[in-house]
Chains A and B, each alone.
Chain A
C-alpha cells in the first residue's frame, strides 16, 4: 500500500516533537499575566526583543508619509502592490546593508547587489543549504545550537547535521580538535561535509566568537575546501565587550582568495529590531552563482513589498538607526544584568555573555545526577512547579547536562523580577532538603503528564506554537 503523503510529511524532521515545545504548550495553557493570571507560567523560552518598540512607534508618529504609502506626497501604493521582483526593492537593500555596516561599526562594507532577501532567517538558512548541499551531505554545527536548525537545515533539504562538540571546560568555545573530530565523525558515517554553520553571536550561549575562533574556522574551511555560513542574526544585540567581530571583518585579510566564494552571512531583522512578524531575512554572499541561485529560490518566500517599503524608510533614517542601535543595546545590557544578578543571588551562575536575548544558565548543581534524565526532571519541575518556561540544554543539543537557556528581553522588568523571585524560592526550597515523598509525587505527576504529550502534538494542531522563535 503506497503512502498517501510524502516522506517529509510523515517524518519527525521538523523537530517539533522536541521537549523545547512542550514548555511552550504548557505556557499557552496557562500564560502569566501580571493582573489576570499572576500564578501563570512565565515565558522565558522565547528569544524575542520586546524592549525597544517605543522607539519604532515614535519614529512612525514622525513619519506619516510611510503610513500612507506615499513618497514625497505622492501615492506609490500601486507600484508597491505590484512589486514582486525577487531582486527586492533597491532602496530597501541599500538601507539594509547600511544598517548591517553600522552594526559592525562600519568596519566592513556590504554590496547591495550581493544580498538576497528571504522570508526570515528561517528561509535564508534553508535556501542556503539547498544551494550548498545535496540530500545526505553534512553540515557541521557547534553545540549547543538553536533547536530550529534541525528543521531549517535538514527537513526538506535532506541534509544532515553533525555536531562540533563544545564544552564548559573552555566556555563552550570551538577548538581545532572539536572541528577535526566532527569532520571525522561525518566521514565515519559516510557523509560528505559541505560546510560549517555557526551562529555569531551565539544562540543559546549569548557570546560573541573570538578572533582566534574565527581564524580557526577560516583555516579549517580553507583546509577542507568547504563552506562557512555565519548566522549573524544577533549581531545588533552585542551590548558589552568584547566588541563584535563579524566574519566579514576576518574576510578582509583574504582579499582575492578563492575562499571568499565559500563564506556566506545570514541576517534578519527579527532580533535586532524586534520585528519577527515581518519576515525579513537575508543571505549575503560574494559568490555570484549562489546569489543568482538563492535569488531565484527566494521566489518561494519573498518579503512583502509593503514591509520592504516601510523598513527602507525606517532604516534610511540614519539619525534614527544610530539612536536605536545604541539605546537598544543599553536596555539589553541592563536587562541582562538584572537577570544575571538575580540568578547570582539565588546561587546560580551563568556563562559570561555579552550579546543575545538570553543567558546560558548553569544549573548543574541542582541536578540529582549528571544525566540528561536528571536535566529533564529538573526542567519539568521548573515548568510545572516553578512555572517558568525555560529551554533545556538537551533541546539545544548540548553535550553536557544541566545547562538552560533563559530569555530576558521578551517581558517587562516587573515580570523578570517575579521570575527571579520564583527561582530564588525554588532554589531555597531545594537546598532546605526537599521532602522526598512530595518531590517524588511531583515527579510522578509530571511524568504521567508527559504521556499524552505526543498525542498533543497531533491532536492540538492549532495550538502548536510557532517554532520560529529562537
Chain B
C-alpha cells in the first residue's frame, strides 16, 4: 500500500461512512414522533414540584453587591421544563447580563447563582434587581 492508495481508500471509506450515517439518521427521523414523550414531560414537572415540597425548599431570590457594577444573585426555583431558558430570556431582556453562571439541580429544584452585570452599562441596585427577579420568577 502506498500513500496514494491509502489516501484514496480513506476518502472512499469516509464517504461510505457518511452515507451510512445519513441513512441511519434519516431512518431515525422517520421513526420519530411517538406519543409517549408528552406524557413523560408532564410527569417530570409534577415530580419536581412534589420533591421540592418534600424537602422544604422554597423559591428564593438573593441579591448582593460585590462590586461597583457587579451583583451576585442566587435564585432557587422549581425546576420545570424550559424554565431556565425563560429565566435567561427574561433577564437578558431586562438588561441583566450573566457573567459567571452556575446552575445546579437537585430534588426538583434549580439553584442559579451568577454574577450579573448591567448589559447597558447602567448600574443596578440591589433592591431593584431583587424585585425584578422576583417578578421574573413569578411569571415564568
Are A and B subunits of one complex?
Answer: no
